[in-house]
Amino acid sequence: MLVNVLGIPGGLALVYIGGVTFAGFITIVMLYALFEYYSLQQHKDVYPQKWLGWLLTLLIGYIYYIQPEVKFPIVLIYLSFFILVALIIELFRNKSHPNQNLGTTFLGILYIPLLLGSMIALREQDTMQGTQLTFALILSIWVCDSAAYIIGKKWGVKKIFKRVSPNKTVAGTAAGLICAIILWLVLNNIGFLGKTYLWYQVVTFGVITGGFGQLGDFLESMFKRAVGVKDSGTILMGHGGVLDRFDSLIIASPLVYIFANTI
């Protein structure tokens, strides 16, 4: 409860402030969520290179914030450099699962900062284009989660994806998706988005946050289930870990950013 009381207005305030404050907040979230993801792997005797992951998280957060224009070979030169460093560190580390250690090191970076970092770029784009997509993204994820939880608890019978999430029901998931779409339609109609989108564009945003957002939830459950753990961490007490709280945004945010940049 405390998490929601402090978390929701706090999160909205950070989105409102934007700029380096918001970018810094998201970067801290990414650092901590990556720490949780790497810690999960240790249940299977896999030890990712935490420090390299953190370093690259800082770099990715910074890149999403400043959005440089780059000549192509430069990207590959930097990328190759970090890969070579990781490979050589692993060679001298003397741990028993090098493929897994390196694999999850990179998977963690691609799964968390690279995807979630798009929130920083999205917020910057909101400032430049006068839109409010970051607000709408977060609000719709909350509405979706709440609707799914309430309706699922009340009317949910048939399970939707028992293998990865034994508690999620068809009714709850559908309610989450529908409510997310409705929220986007309402926000668009009252002019909250800062720009008026066509109805099918708004529905697409709703499908991204309400549909793919819930897919993000299933994905994180899959990762946790594979290592035999229920919560990604305990920092938020009854609310699990940071990764548990941001799993929908990890998938929904880059898609909102991509879609907003292609329409």
CA 240 from chain centre, in angstroms, equals 15
Distance (Å, whole) CA 81 – CA 34: 21
Q: How far is residue 21's CA from residue 18's CA, in Å, rounded to a whole number?
A: 6
**By CB under 8 A, is residue 59 in contact with a second copy?**
no
Length of the chain: 263
Could you give phi then psi for residue 224, rounded to 5 degrees?
A: -70, -45
In this structure, the dihedral spanned by the alpha carbons of residues 203, 207, 213 and 217, taken in order and rounded to 10 degrees, is 150
Q: How far apart are CA 235 and CA 78, in angstroms?
A: 34
Interface residue with a second copy among 22, 32, 111, 197 (CB under 8 A) is 111
How far apart are CB 238 and a second copy at their closest, in Å?
A: 26
Query: With binding defined as CB under 8 A, does residue 255 bind a second copy?
Result: yes
DSSP state string for 19-53? HHHHHHHHHHHHHHHHHHHHHHHGGGT----HHHH
Scan residues 203-232 and list those touching a second copy (CB under 8 A): 215, 218-219, 222-223, 226-227
90 binds a second copy (CB under 8 A): yes
| Position among 4, 42, 44, 162 found at the interface with a second copy (CB under 8 A) | 44
Main-chain phi, psi angles of 169, to 5 degrees: -110, 160
d(CA 179, CA 97): 44
Q: Does 128 bind a second copy (CB under 8 A)?
A: no
Distance from chain centroid for Cα 54: 16
Considering the rule CB under 8 A, would residue 64 count as an interface residue with a second copy?
A: yes
The yes or no reply on residue 6 touching a second copy (CB under 8 A) is: no
Site for a second copy in 137-156 (CB under 8 A): none
- Which window, 15-23, 61-69, 169-177, 194-202, contacts a second copy (CB under 8 A)? 61-69
Helix 133-155 vs helix 199-206: crossing angle, to nearest 10: 60
* Least spacing, CB of residue 91 vs a second copy, in Å: 6
- Residues 173/152, Cβ–Cβ less than 8 Å: yes
How far is residue 60's CA from residue 257's CA, in Å, rounded to a whole number?
16
Residues 153-192, one symbol each (x = binds a second copy by CB under 8 A, - = not), give ----------xx----------------------------
Q: For a second copy, which stretch binds (CB under 8 A), given 109-117, 128-136, 151-159, 168-176?
A: 109-117
200 part of the interface to a second copy, by CB under 8 A: no
Query: Can you tell me which of 20, 84, 85, 263 binds a second copy, judged by CB under 8 A?
Result: 84
Q: How far is the CB of 21 from a second copy (least distance, A)?
A: 21
Residues interacting with a second copy, by CB under 8 A? 41, 44, 46, 63-64, 67-73, 75-77, 79-81, 83-84, 87-88, 90-91, 94, 96-100, 102-107, 110-111, 114-115, 117-118, 121, 163-164, 215, 218-219, 222-223, 226-227, 251, 254-255, 257-258, 261
